[in-house]
Amino acid sequence: MKLSPDPKKALLTELNKCRACRFCVDVCPTYQVSGGLEALSSFGRIQIIRHLLTGMLELDDSLSYALYSCLQCRRCENTCKAKGQALDICQIIQQARAYLAPDYAKEVADGV
């Protein structure tokens, strides 16, 4: 996904490629260790980002945690591409962190 002067539009364009097949969910290690919390899966993060961008959700600590707990391991991305998709899921999550929750990692590091 290319950097864009309009990150919200770029993110929504990319998110709209998701076909909600959920093939990526079971391979996500944070989903696995959470005992099956979809918010901590690849598809769950995509949904959270979509709803934050469209105003259906407001950012709070739990949603920030969902975004920042992604390990950037690319297991979901490889599975998605294996099914004929082309979502750069790790890049989507990175850009969503920068756009939607840029201060969260610093707050955690500072113990706020």
Interface residue list for ligand SF4 (CB under 6 A): 18-24, 27-30, 42-43, 45-46, 70-76, 79-80, 83, 85, 87, 89-90
Nearest approach, Cβ of 112 to ligand SF4 (angstroms)?
24
8-state DSSP, 41? S
Closest to ligand SF4 by CB, 5 vs 21, is: 21
8-state DSSP, 89? H
Closest to ligand SF4 by CB, 96 vs 110, is: 96
Nearest approach, Cβ of 78 to ligand SF4 (angstroms)?
9
Q: What is the 3-state secondary structure (H, E, C) of 2-39?
A: CCCCCHHHHHHHHHCCCCCCCCCCCCCHHHHHCCCCHH
